[in-house]
Amino acid sequence: MSTFIQSTICSSCALFIFLLVTSCKKEAPDWPEYNGGPDRNHYSSLAEIGPGNVNRLEKIWEYSSGGADTLKNRTQIQCNPIIIDGVLYGVSAGSQAFALDASSGKEIWKTSFTASSYAMTSRGVTYYQSGDSKRIFFGYGQWLYALDAATGRPIPSFATGGKIDLRVGLSRPGADDYVTYNTPGVIFKNLLITGQRVSEGSTALLGDIRAYNADNGKLVWTFHTIPAEGEEGSDTWPENARDNNGGANSWMGMAIDRENEIVYAPTGSAAFDFYGGDRHGSNLYANCIIALDANTGQRKWHYQIVHHDIWDRDIPAPPNLFTFRRDDTDIPALAQVTKQGHVFVFNRLTGEPLFPIEERKVAASDIPGEQPHPTQPIPLKPKPFTRQMFTIDDVYLQAADRDEVLKVLTESRTGSAYIPITRQRTIIFPGTDGGAQWGGAAMDPNGVMFVPAKEIPVYTSLTDAPQPELTTSSRKLYQLHCASCHQADRSGDHTGAYPSLLDISNRTTAHQVHQLLQTGRGMMPPFTHLNDKERNVIVSFIMGTKDTLLINNQTGVESKVPYVHTGYNRWYDRNGYPVSNPPWGTVTAIDLQTGEHLWQVPLGEYPQLIERGIPPTGTDNYGGPLVTESGLLFIAGTPDKKFRAFDKRTGVLLWETSLPAAGYASPSTYAVGSKQYIVIACGGGKLRSTSGDKYVAFALKE
């Protein structure tokens, strides 16, 4: 009898727990933070849409956010929208914040900010509630706004007129004034913890991590990513580094463990990207995962992913927080993907690596003044999710100009990671923007990571920096300030990321170019550190190739670095395909409990190659994935404008649809009532794709 009663009680408890968990899932329908939650795992427990019915998805609503550049295709939308209590908050193609009814796509409000000096590509907003006060934190250029969540109006009691000037506190002698809030910050108690984007040249501002009071906008704490004299880590820099160096900023976003009160901030490289002769040492805390006490900003632990970075190897995305299981013990863990195609896994409370990491010897440099770090850390497990070298054996057999590619490759420095950049062409593989990139990785509760990546070679080299003089020329100024992106011959790069300027007079006016130099757009920062004379002669050169003299010029900000680089050159053949063997874009599933790969599939396709009978090759891609409890992995990100759903267990493609423009963004999922929705921003504009302004939401066909 007692056994029967015990069995009945246990069964009842199990049923109660099941119903409780199920009801909790139904009662948590939101996508309340960037990438889904504080762990940045791109994960949702919603399960109405699953492998058995995903083929019934259809478009439910479409919202035109406005601001798309449909003439030159220079705008993007990288936003991962958040959804709270049936309201969707996002950022338009024109970089305005907005709120929608999440079930219908009907606009509730949209901002109409303008700025005289402005450049950004926003990845979203942050929500904060204190009592009855609900607000949205939104970056517009140098300004960090607190907006009323109900109306979109700035909150007057926050900072100065509802906004913080992010430039304050980041200046140093000789720096430019470019800063923008491109990735949402994190909330901890009543703090908004943020990084920011600064320029990547030698005149970059400091990259400090800061926490503001989320109610009144007052600065609460600051962590110096370039340490001040006497601070821990300052011995890894020359003296007065905060006066002479910039960057090392957390532009990619952060994760937070609110229970343990730790914020995890990745950082990028110190400026300038490809030369560090002015910053000898390992350069803490650039290229680090930094675990900070969220209350005070005090460092708890750090790990440097790249020592003395001279390859533009910023950490590209926020880390993923998960539970690692070893010997029946649960360990709070952190996994960090990299541009190099590695995953580093740590105990997130102590910083102890959970898989072995080896410091490997790397090449020295023959550039005068450069002192590369003698070793770089390489995780022995998990194995890389991209190939690690590009040699003659890796050249695509069907490359249109293969013989020329082979000839150039034999004259280049290639074949391994961490080859210092010199005057000779150097191949970086995977390229300077990944491997993994800002979209980051998804993670399910079982510790399986899903990471999109690309495997396209990039080449660059160093050349002497033209030094502006009191009497200088427009050609020299163009070479100094513009050629590293748009090329010395003004031809741009193949993908359109840096457009050709050869025929710009047929596409725009001198006034518009001058205005763009002052305001910036997308990845291009404003050149506010140039004076009017300098901007005028650069515009004259761009528009008509007229090499004019500039007499008695007093330049604003001058580079102290003796070199400039020759561009972030993705290597494509004349038909527009990467010169490396496919796959060129992939999604990889990695079991982080064991470090083993579960599957890898190509991501994206070129229709012209499919028509020729060539299997999917994968493509260049931007944006992150979404993984669901029900067993699906959703991802867009490719220039073929497709939105796809894979079986997360096998990598089998289950569903795809065409978008109005390429979705270079991470999708979100949420529920309103009993209906689950999936939404993706379709902004295009990269990789020579058409710009758009749409957000598209999908749900199951009734």
Is the model's pLDDT at 492 over the cut of 80?
Answer: no
pLDDT digits (tens, 9 = 90+) for 180-218: 999 999 999 999 999 999 999 889 999 999 999 999 999
pLDDT at 496: 62
- Average pLDDT (343-372) is 97
DSSP conformation letters of 663-676:
--S--EEEEETTEE
Q: Decide which of 195 and 507 is more confident.
A: 195
Is the model's pLDDT at 643 over the cut of 60?
Answer: yes
pLDDT at 553: 56
DSSP conformation letters of 120-161:
------EEEEETTEEEEEEEETTEEEEEETTT--B-TTTTBT
Same domain, 647 and 540: no
Pairing status of strand 299-304 against strand 320-326: unpaired
Residue 493, CB-side half-sphere exposure with 13 Å CA sphere: 21
Same domain, 496 and 538: yes
Report d(CA 121, CA 524) in Å as an integer: 10
pLDDT at 1: 35
Q: What Å distances lie between residue 437 and 137, 280, 484, 682, 685, CA to CA?
A: 24, 27, 21, 18, 17
Among left, alpha and beta (phi > 0; psi -120 to 50; other), residue 109 is beta
pLDDT at 471: 54
Is the model's pLDDT at 558 over the cut of 60?
Answer: no
Report d(CA 242, CA 119) in Å as an integer: 25
- For 58, list phi and psi in degrees, rounded to 5: -145, 160
pLDDT at 541: 81
Report d(CA 35, CA 32) in Å as an integer: 9
For residue 631, the enclosing domain spans 24-110+591-702
Task: Show the tokens assigned to 665.
Answer: 């963004």
pLDDT digits (tens, 9 = 90+) for 530-545: 666 677 778 778 877 5
Same domain, 552 and 647: no
Q: What Å distances lie between residue 661 and 98, 690, 696, CA to CA?
A: 20, 6, 10
| Mean pLDDT taken over the chain | 90
| 3-class DSSP state of 246 | strand
pLDDT at 475: 75
pLDDT digits (tens, 9 = 90+) for 402-454: 999 999 999 999 999 999 999 999 999 999 999 999 999 999 999 999 999 99
Indicate the residue among 534, 558, 582 that finishes a domain: 558
Q: Tell me the pLDDT band of 522, cut-offs 50, 70 and 90.
A: low
Task: Show the tokens assigned to 10.
Answer: 């246990």
State the distance between the two ends of the chain, measured CA to CA, in whole angstroms.
49
Q: Decide which of 441 and 16 is more confident.
A: 441
Is residue 268 within 8 A of residue 249, CB to CB? The reply is yes
Report d(CA 137, CA 140) in Å as an integer: 10
pLDDT at 467: 67
Q: Closest Cα to residue 133, out of 115, 110, 156?
A: 156
Report d(CA 62, CA 697) in Å as an integer: 6
Residue 657 located in a structural domain: yes
**Could you tell me how many residues make up the chain?**
702
Task: Show the tokens assigned to 497.
Answer: 């990321």
Q: What Å distances lie between residue 59 and 91, 99, 665, CA to CA?
A: 20, 19, 18
Among left, alpha and beta (phi > 0; psi -120 to 50; other), residue 240 is left
Is the model's pLDDT at 483 over the cut of 90?
Answer: no
How many other C-beta atoms can be found within 10 angstroms of the C-beta atom of residue 338? 25
Indicate the residue among 535, 558, 581 that finishes a domain: 558
Is the model's pLDDT at 509 over the cut of 80?
Answer: no
Report d(CA 499, CA 487) in Å as an integer: 10
Place of tokens 């770089």: 376
Q: Decide which of 71 and 36 is more confident.
A: 36
DSSP conformation letters of 207-260:
--EEEEETTT--EEEEE-SSPPTTSTTGGGS-TTHHHH-EE----S--EEETTT
| 3-class DSSP state of 118 | coil
Report d(CA 187, CA 165) in Å as an integer: 19
Same domain, 549 and 609: no
Same domain, 31 and 106: yes
Is the model's pLDDT at 400 over the cut of 80?
Answer: yes
Is residue 191 within 8 A of residue 550, CB to CB? The reply is no
Residue type, 640: D
Same domain, 497 and 600: no
Strands, E assignment, 421-534: 426-428, 442-443, 448-454, 458-460, 462-464, 472-473
pLDDT at 6: 34
Find the CATH number of the domain harbouring 546: 1.10.760.10
Report d(CA 432, CA 287) in Å as an integer: 14
CA 60 to chain centre: 29
pLDDT at 257: 98
Same domain, 515 and 596: no
Report d(CA 7, CA 86) in Å as an integer: 42
Residue 208 located in a structural domain: no
Q: Decide which of 557 and 614 is more confident.
A: 614
CA 390 to chain centre: 24
Same domain, 645 and 552: no
Same domain, 549 and 602: no
Residue 38 located in a structural domain: yes
pLDDT at 254: 98
Report d(CA 348, CA 549) in Å as an integer: 57
- For 475, list phi and psi in degrees, rounded to 5: -65, -40
Residue 127 located in a structural domain: no
Residue 66 located in a structural domain: yes
Return the top range by mean pLDDT from 5-9, 70-74, 651-655: 651-655
Give percent above pLDDT 90 in the chain: 77
| 3-class DSSP state of 112 | coil
Give percent above pLDDT 70 in the chain: 88
pLDDT digits (tens, 9 = 90+) for 264-285: 999 999 999 999 999 999 999 9
- For 378, list phi and psi in degrees, rounded to 5: -130, 120
Could you give the number of structural domains in the chain? 2
Helix axes 510-519, 532-544, angle to 10 degrees: 130
Residue 172 located in a structural domain: no
Is the model's pLDDT at 252 over the cut of 50?
Answer: yes
Same domain, 615 and 688: yes
How many other C-beta atoms can be found within 10 angstroms of the C-beta atom of residue 216? 12
Q: Angle CA(358)–CA(247)–CA(371) in degrees, nearest 5? A: 50
Residue 481 located in a structural domain: yes
| DSSP, res 542 | H
Helix axes 474-481, 532-544, angle to 10 degrees: 90
- For 532, list phi and psi in degrees, rounded to 5: -60, -40
pLDDT digits (tens, 9 = 90+) for 154-182: 999 999 999 999 999 999 998 988 999 99
Indicate the residue among 508, 536, 558 that finishes a domain: 558
Report d(CA 221, CA 227) in Å as an integer: 15
pLDDT digits (tens, 9 = 90+) for 594-612: 999 999 999 999 999 999 9
pLDDT at 102: 98
Same domain, 552 and 642: no
Name the least confident of 86-100, 310-324, 490-504, 654-668. Answer: 490-504
Report d(CA 210, CA 193) in Å as an integer: 6
Sign of the CA dihedral running 88, 196, 568, 343: negative
Task: Show the tokens assigned to 53.
Answer: 């019915």
pLDDT at 612: 95
- Average pLDDT (470-475) is 66
Task: Show the tokens assigned to 626.
Answer: 């979404």
Is the model's pLDDT at 469 over the cut of 80?
Answer: no
pLDDT at 524: 67
Cα torsion for 205, 242, 310, 370, to the nearest 10°? 130
Q: Angle CA(407)–CA(408)–CA(409) in degrees, nearest 5? A: 90
Same domain, 31 and 93: yes
Residue 342 located in a structural domain: no
